[in-house]
């Protein structure tokens, strides 16, 4: 089974964006729909999450602007990929982290 890529971004109030992707090794052959279902169950208002809670890189811009900046990131998508894993944790470990995050709707 291929690796899985998690795509997300930070979008400030001025609609400026920083994008990031993380490729997880998937030795347990976890299916994409199972991951997406878990992710969507943990999103705030069906779109957002806190990078520190999900243990992914924070994508805020270098300077903070109280009129434009906020603390959450935006889920974009997950996909299968043949790209090499670039995360220190595998997909099952990432899913364990997500399972500990409180459900906020």
Share of the chain above pLDDT 70, in %: 98
- Structural domain includes residue 20: yes
Average pLDDT over residues 42-47: 94
First to last CA, the chain: 32
54-105 pLDDT tens trace:
999 999 988 888 877 888 999 999 999 999 999 999 999 999 999 998 776 5
Residue 59 within a domain: yes
Residues in the chain: 105
The pTM of the full predicted model, rounded to 2 decimals, is 0.92
Mean pLDDT of all residues in 24-52: 96
What average pLDDT does range 24-30 have in this prediction?
96
Domain, as residue range, for 21: 3-100
As a whole number, mean pLDDT of residues 14-33 equals 95
Has residue 105 been placed in a domain? no
* Number of domains the chain contains: 1
DSSP E strands in 2-105: the ranges are 3-11, 17-24, 48-49, 73-81
């Amino acid at each position: 089974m291929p690796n899985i890529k998690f795509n997300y971004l930070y979008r400030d109030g001025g609609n400026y964006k920083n994008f990031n992707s993380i490729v997880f090794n998937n030795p347990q052959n976890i299916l994409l729909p199972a991951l997406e279902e878990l992710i969507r169950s943990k999103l705030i208002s069906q779109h957002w999450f806190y990078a520190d809670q999900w243990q992914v890189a924070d994508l805020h811009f270098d300077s903070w602007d109280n009129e434009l900046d906020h603390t959450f990131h935006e889920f974009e998508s997950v996909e299968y990929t043949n790209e090499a894993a670039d995360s220190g944790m595998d997909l099952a470990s990432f899913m364990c982290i997500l399972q500990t995050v409180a459900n906020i709707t």
